Amino acid sequence: MIDYRFAPNSDIERALANHEIDIGFMTNISDDETVSCRPMAQEALILVTPAATVEPSWEHLIELGFIDHPDGAHHAGMLLTANYEQFQHINDFEKKGFSNQIGLILEPVSRGIGFTVLPAHAVAAYPKPELINSHHLPVAVSETLYLAVRRQQVLSNRMHTVIDNVQKWL
């Protein structure tokens, strides 16, 4: 049986350090000396706006406001810094909402309430793509996905099988 959950990096790091999970996938390298990380894949970050937004100008993004999520400031900082010289901090935008549920982050965006930045897999999984607009900006930015394990941990064969299968899908 495989039990999987989506959680912020800090929760994954803590669960590994506390021996609550065997492996984790993180988007930052762990600062915890008991956790080891190695790169597994790269994933594009996508600016997502309501469907009516054709060209996401800086002024339009300011007007829309930001729909935040647990990695929102990190994702937006990476993508917007590379593509908008005006960007200084996520607080440049009025925060119009927050969701810690990956499947719900795009709901307020689809209703015209704001914009967000998400990894490509989260955007592709949204069941109503006609209500959003995914913008691949001129400077593409990708986020590294790391496999995280406890240092000195010997992984079982079944864990290697899980990791090998995850690698195939990435």
Concatenated DSSP letters for 123-158? Answer: HHT-S-GGGEEEE--SS--EEEEEEEEETTPPPPHH
pLDDT the model gives residue 34? 94
pLDDT the model gives residue 72? 94
Residue with the larger pLDDT of the pair 3 and 74: 74
Percent of the chain residues past pLDDT 90, beyond the cut? 80
How far is residue 5's CA from residue 54's CA, in Å, rounded to a whole number?
34
Q: Is residue 108 part of a domain?
A: yes
* Sign of CA pseudo-dihedral 83, 109, 127, 103: positive
Domain that holds residue 102: 43-141
How far is residue 17's CA from residue 52's CA, in Å, rounded to a whole number?
45
Work out the average pLDDT over 51-76: 96
Same domain, 61 and 36: no
For the entire predicted model, the pTM comes to 0.81
Same domain, 104 and 158: no
Q: Is residue 4 part of a domain?
A: no
pLDDT per position as a tens digit, 65-83: 999 998 899 999 999 999 9
Q: Is residue 50 part of a domain?
A: yes
Largest CA distance in the chain: 53
CATH number (domain holding residue 28):
3.40.190.10
Task: Tell me: pLDDT of 28 over 90.
Answer: no
Confidence of residue 2 (pLDDT cuts 50, 70, 90): confident
Task: Provide the domain count of the chain.
Answer: 2
Confidence of residue 33 (pLDDT cuts 50, 70, 90): very high
Same domain, 112 and 126: yes
Task: Tell me: pLDDT of 168 over 90.
Answer: no
Same domain, 111 and 77: yes
- Give the containing element (helix H, strand E) for 80: helix 72-83
pLDDT per position as a tens digit, 13-22: 999 999 999 9
Same domain, 29 and 65: no
